[in-house]
Amino acid sequence: MTRPTTTLGLLGDTASRDYADKLRLFNAFAAPEIRQAIASLALKPGMRILDAGCGTGEALAWLADDVGPDGAAIGMDLATPHVRAAHSTAAKSGSLLLQGNILALPMVAASVDLVWSVNVINHLRSPVAGLQALMALVRPGGRVALGQSSLLPDMYFAWDSRLERLVNEAVRQYYRDRYQLDERDLTSIRAIAGLLRQAGLRDVHVRTFMIERLAPLRLEDENYLLNAIFRGTWGSRLQAYLSSSDHEEVMRLCDPNHPDYALRRPDFHFLQSFTLAVGVV
Ligand SMILES: C[S@@+](CC[C@H](N)C(=O)[O-])C[C@H]1O[C@@H](n2cnc3c(N)ncnc32)[C@H](O)[C@@H]1O
């Protein structure tokens, strides 16, 4: 299979790629569940934590709160625009930020108590190698916590399982075409528990948090679903993958000015999973 040679990651990440807006929208939307996931780690003041692939730095700031002034929350990301955004998000927490590749990080071995990494390992062409590079940074007895959203199919259209199935399949096919991937190339989106074991972590356990929203939505929820999903991910991109009548219906459901707008339906009920897999080094 021919792969684009100009991109570094499986999903097109490079040092200059910028999807900071989408990351900010996601973190504002999923903040309650991500903070619950962080709380499940029972972090202690004074700990040193690396947020690998920190994106725009929201979780970095929450991690920094938990470890306090005697600890350290270090953020790193491949993309310069994301590191820049994380600088402003986490400015108050005094977090350290690095730009670099997980596979070649300029950090001292065994220097952190925990690596936190959310929705990143599935962007790597060699997830086990990435995980092992992160494990090398953790002291013996420390932990690696990998978070991944949507291990289960999401529920968007609670009232229409057929249209939802077609849209989910259309989105997946769109991404496979865009990045020239086979369905099996995307296995690491769902195989995180197995990856931790394969990489040699011990005492692996998992916990799934459900991001569940019901109409009426909070502003953060509507902002993410409308701008990042309906406009940013779906929209005209799905046209080639749906029949014209299904695409027209999706466009009506995604249009805030249309009476059929999904996010204002009283039967709008949304589900998305967020799974945290943790193992000991
Ligand atoms: C989907 S985003 C997740 C960001 C953040 N963890 C969050 O939950 O909002 C994936 C992030 O991983 C970064 N990334 C991708 N490949 C990377 C690599 N090889 N090394 C470091 N960061 C990488 C991207 O630049 C992007 O910021």
Q: pLDDT, tens digit, for every residue of 139-187?
A: 999 999 999 999 888 999 999 999 999 999 999 999 899 989 888 888 8
Nearest CA to 273 out of 153, 120, 145, 123 is that of 153
Give me 143's structure tokens: 């932990």
Q: What is the pLDDT of residues 9-57, one digit of tens each?
A: 888 899 999 999 999 999 999 999 999 999 999 999 999 999 999 999 9
Which residue's CA is minimally distant from atom 20 of ligand 1? 101
Residue 94: which pLDDT band, with cuts at 50, 70 and 90?
confident
CA of 271 to the centre of ligand 1 (A): 23
Domain range annotation of the chain: 20-280
- CA-wise closest residue to 143 among 279, 2, 5, 1: 279
pLDDT at 259: 96
Topology given in CATH for the domain delimited by 20-280:
Rossmann fold (3.40.50)
Pocket of ligand 1 (CB under 6 A): 9, 13, 23, 26-27, 53-55, 59, 77-79, 82, 101-103, 118-120, 123-124
CA distance 45 to 16: 34
d(CA 129, CA 202): 17
Closest CA to 248 of 266, 260, 232: 260
Q: What is the mean pLDDT of the segment spanning 122-127? A: 92
**Which pLDDT belongs to residue 1?**
38
CB of 214 closer than 8 Å to CB of 268: yes
Give the three-state DSSP class for 253.
helix
The runs of H, that is alpha helices, within 68-160 are 80-89, 127-135
Ligand 1 centroid to Cα of residue 242, in Å, is 30
The rounded mean pLDDT for the chain is: 94
79 CA closest ligand 1 atom index: 25
What is the percent of the chain with per-residue pLDDT over 70, rounded to a whole number? Answer: 97
Phi/psi of residue 107, nearest 5 degrees: -130, 155
DSSP states along 151-214: SSPPBS-TT-HHHHHHHHHHHHHHHHHHTT--GGGGGGGT-HHHHHHHTT-EEEEEEEEEEEEE
The answer to whether the beta carbons of residues 182 and 5 sit under 8 Å apart is no
**Ligand 1 center to residue 53 CA distance, Å?**
4
Return the best residue to mutate from 99, 105, 120 for the ligand 1 pocket (most ligand atoms within 8 A of CB).
Answer: 120
| 253 CB neighbour count, 10 Å cutoff | 22
